[in-house]
Amino acid sequence: MITARLALLRHGHTAWNRAGCIQGRVNEPLDPQAREHLSRLRLPDEFKDAALFSSPLVRAVETARIVAGREPTAVPALVEMDWGRWEGRRGVDLLEDGSSGYCHIEEWGWDFQPPGGETPRLVWERVEPWLGSISGAAVVVSHIGIMRVLLAHATGWNFEGTPPFKVKRDRLYRVDVHEDGSLSHDGEPVRLIEADRS
């Protein structure tokens, strides 16, 4: 039995995203281009009346507010994966440093841990109780780390090898929560649609 139907949405761009910097818990706002871009989009009709949740970080709250036209409920469990001492660094630079321990996501496994940060397994352990507390349809605006963990559980991917999904912006990824706590992924993502600006 399905207890909740989630539509996952990644927040819009920040200056750090465009610079290739790892953000993690750093509370970067959307940049002006992202705000302008998102102002031209909205949730599809099938999701417009769903409950609205977001990470407490401002980039997710702003994204939710713009595309849904209302205030989200901020959920601490949906905050981005903690990248520890790698926050603010660029992944390409860390890859060039053979001693950094950084690697591509296809080589992580569930227990890959940035220095001073979280593993995907730890992210799941803080998100899972919240999933059990919600019911019905919900739009969830958060981060790529949170979405990867949820989609990994929904598809059976174990952070090894090529993921069976790509987390793109401006798309809703549908995940069903079942009574036994398992997750399933409901097909192709759904695009946000053009807002009526008349």
The CATH number of residue 160's host domain is 3.40.50.1240
Task: Place 118 in a pLDDT band, splitting at 50, 70 and 90.
Answer: very high
- Please determine, for residue 177, whether its predicted confidence score (pLDDT) is greater than 70: yes
Tokens of 80: 């981005």
Q: What percentage of the chain reaches a pLDDT higher than 90?
A: 96
pLDDT at position 3, please?
97
Average pLDDT over residues 176-180: 97
What are the Cα distances from residue 112, in Å, to 12, 37, 106, 178? 26, 34, 11, 27
Average pLDDT estimate for 40-64: 97
The pLDDT confidence band at residue 39, using thresholds 50, 70 and 90, is very high
Whole-number pLDDT of residue 98: 87
Q: Which of 133, 108, 131, 121 is nearest to 81 (CA)?
A: 121
> What's the one-letter identity of residue 145?
G
At residue 116 the predicted structure's pLDDT band, cuts being 50, 70 and 90, is very high
Domains contained in the chain, number:
1
Strands 183-185, 171-178: parallel, antiparallel or unpaired by DSSP? antiparallel
pLDDT given for residue 197 in this prediction: 61
Residue 162's CB is within 10 A of a number of other CB atoms, namely 9
Is pLDDT above 70 for 113?
A: yes
Q: pTM score, two decimals?
A: 0.96
* Average of per-residue pLDDT across 174-179: 97
Structure confidence at residue 151 (pLDDT): 98
Distances (CA, A) of 39 to 25, 79, 88, 193: 25, 23, 27, 11
Q: What range defines the domain where residue 21 resides?
A: 2-194
- The pLDDT assigned to 7 comes to 98
Q: What is the mean pLDDT of residues 93-122?
A: 95
> Any residues with CB less than 8 A from the CB of 24 and at least 6 apart, and which?
80, 81, 82, 83, 84, 86, 87, 117, 145
pLDDT tens-digit readout, 124-148: 999 999 999 999 999 999 999 999 9
